[in-house]
Amino acid sequence: MFDAFTTFSHASGLVANLDKSNLYTAGITEEERSELQLIVQMLMGSFPFKYLGVPLTTRKLFYQECKPLIEKTVARKVLKEIQSICRNYLWSGKSEGRKAPVAWDNLCLKKSCGVWNLKDLVTWNKAAVAKHLWAITQKQDRLWIKWIHAYYIKQNILLTMPIPTRLS
């Protein structure tokens, strides 16, 4: 596994900071854990711990615990800022730049209209959420969807069901 991680690092250019990394194990003996720790030279970590502001634990997470991640990743303001950086880079080669000569909305039109068919991130995010909702209602054969139905939706209709108070 460590060799696969090293290969991934070389191929992707992403390198883990081992000083900031911990080793987490489950289902092995104390002797195996100690031996593994000697091989990888990492500190042992324990649950729960936070990753990107969200606690990772062996129990299910609730909405309030995931809220920092949700706010960081899908907020309209963040998407608009990313789009602004992309737009500025397109015209000036820098993240901050001059006013664009063509409106972003026009650049997002289809190629058949004579423009670039770029993605409007806010619209794309809404479409991605809608695609997940569609999958939950239509693709009953997927394992993750079966899990959502078993634990949350149960026999309710998704669009009219009450939102659980301890939503995870």
Question: What region does 73 belong to: left with phi over 0, alpha with psi -120 to 50, or beta?
Answer: alpha
Residues 91, 61: Cα–Cα separation, whole Å: 42
The overall pTM is greater than 0.85: no
Position 115 confidence tier, pLDDT thresholds 50, 70, 90: low
Mean pLDDT over residues 22-27, rounded? Answer: 84
DSSP E strand boundaries for 17-164: 22-23, 43-44, 49-51, 54-56
Report the half-sphere exposure of 49 (CA within 13 A, side-chain side): 10
pLDDT at 28 over 70: yes
Mean pLDDT over residues 111-127, rounded? Answer: 76
Mean pLDDT over residues 88-110, rounded? Answer: 70
Report the half-sphere exposure of 22 (CA within 13 A, side-chain side): 10
Look over the chain and give the mean of its residue pLDDT values, rounded to a whole number: 77
pLDDT at 122 over 80: no
Mean pLDDT over residues 47-68, rounded? Answer: 74
Q: What are phi and psi of 36, to 5 degrees?
A: -65, -40
Q: Tell me how far apart the 2 most distant CA atoms of the chain are, in Å.
A: 66
Pick the closest to residue 25 from 67, 58, 52 (CA basis).
Answer: 58
pLDDT of residue 29: 92
